[in-house]
């Protein structure tokens, strides 16, 4: 592949290759010297048009550990504020010959559009409610390491499914790897026609969590609710917040996940989120760096191959 725009375009064997490579980078990241040279000589630009802590920091660390020259565009201080469009901004940066562009944008499809205009590899760091492929890949690696496999597992994704690019990418990835997916949440936060995607839908949390191997919690994405239905946080926590009592319906060794940022006391109990016997939330963050190293390494190999053939 030239770009990583979504999980939709990936085959199961390609996902496995990427996760295997990420596993080796996870081992490197625990060494005192964490450096490799897969991106030596290459320029990586991170363009985040929407806030981020985990994704931006881990893409920057991943690029630096692999030897790239990494530049973080401060979008709030850029000429976007003077009315420059996304495409003009991308073409301007493209003229500086970057090799990897990492882009997050509030509009679904914006990153795909941008990828058509530039001649470097583009990685989608989250576009609107469309896709967040590296999040789904890091979730997959976390599950594979915690549960020993990434197939025939029962995975519950809970909460605001309708506005979540994380849910969308995870549904595609976990489906491709032949897992059973249960979506749990209020009907107002469930996308129309979702059951056609081979998932089971539950309104009741305890019913939905019954005997699952993995519980994936999601934040209420209020910034994408367009003034529509926003549940009261108290009521929401009562019905859909994950606590010990609700988790007891899952398998005794079920793992608890959350992509972050997390709202403690809204979708998850803070003590449970910190319980290292159940929660793998910090492992997800750790795997984020490894997965992004692997994704950029594979795209850079393809980039170098294409350039060699063109000479």
Q: Integer distance in angstroms from the first to the last C-alpha of the chain? A: 20
Active site residue 168: no
Rounded CA-CA distance 194/15 in Å is: 23
- Determine which one of 11, 30, 81, 82 is catalytic: 82
**What letter would DSSP give residue 298?**
H
Assigned token pair, 137: 């890949």
Nearest one of 159, 188, 164 to 268, comparing CA atoms: 159
Residues making up the annotated binding site for L-aspartate are: 82, 165, 219
Q: Which residues pair with 122 in a beta bridge?
A: 101
207 versus 223: smaller Cβ distance to ligand CP: 223
CB of 89 or CB of 124, closer to ligand CP:
124
Residue 55 sits in the site that holds ligand CP (CB under 6 A): yes
Residue from 12, 23, 36, 54 binding ligand CP (CB under 6 A): 54
Look up tokens 């010297």; give the residue. 33
Q: Which of 1, 53, 151, 223 binds ligand CP (CB under 6 A)?
A: 53
Q: Whose CA is closest to 296, among 60, 115, 28?
A: 60
Active site (annotated) includes residue 188: no
Residue 259 lies near ligand CP (rule: CB under 6 A): yes
| Contact code string over 113-132 relative to ligand CP, x by CB under 6 A | -------------x------
CB 128 → ligand CP: shortest distance, Å?
A: 13
Supply the Cα-derived Rg of the chain in whole angstroms: 19
Residues designated catalytic = 54-55, 82, 104, 132
Which residues make up the interface to ligand CP (CB under 6 A)? Answer: 52-55, 126, 135, 259-261
């Amino acid at each position: 592949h030239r770009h990583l725009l979504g999980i939709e375009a990936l085959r199961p064997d390609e996902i496995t290759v990427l996760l295997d490579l990420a596993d080796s980078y996870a081992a490197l990241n625990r060494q005192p010297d964490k450096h490799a040279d897969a991106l030596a000589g290459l320029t990586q630009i991170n363009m985040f048009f929407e806030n981020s802590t985990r994704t931006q920091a881990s893409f920057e660390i991943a690029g630096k550990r692999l030897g790239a020259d990494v530049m973080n565009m401060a979008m709030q201080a850029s000429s976007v504020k003077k009315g420059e469009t996304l495409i003009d901004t991308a073409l301007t940066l493209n003229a500086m010959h970057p090799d990897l562009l990492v882009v997050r944008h509030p509009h679904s499809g914006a990153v795909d559009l941008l990828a058509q205009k530039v001649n470097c590899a583009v990685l989608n760091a989250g576009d609107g409610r469309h896709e967040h492929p590296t999040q789904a890949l890091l979730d997959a690696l976390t599950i594979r390491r915690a549960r020993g496999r990434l197939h025939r597992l029962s995975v519950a994704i809970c909460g605001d499914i309708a506005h979540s690019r994380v849910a969308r990418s995870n549904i595609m990835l976990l489906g491709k790897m032949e897992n059973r997916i249960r979506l749990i949440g209020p009907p107002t936060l469930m996308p129309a026609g979702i059951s056609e995607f081979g998932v089971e839908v539950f309104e009741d949390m305890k019913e939905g969590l019954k005997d699952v191997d993995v519980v994936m919690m999601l934040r209420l994405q209020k910034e994408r609710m367009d003034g529509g239905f926003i549940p009261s946080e108290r009521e929401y926590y009562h019905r859909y917040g994950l606590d010990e009592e609700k988790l007891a319906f899952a398998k005794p060794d079920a793992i608890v996940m959350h992509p972050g940022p997390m709202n403690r006391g809204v979708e998850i109990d803070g003590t449970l989120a910190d319980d290292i016997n159940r929660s793998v939330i910090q492992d997800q963050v750790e795997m984020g760096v490894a997965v992004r190293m692997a994704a950029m390494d594979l795209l850079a190999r393809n980039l170098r191959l294409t350039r060699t053939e063109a000479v």
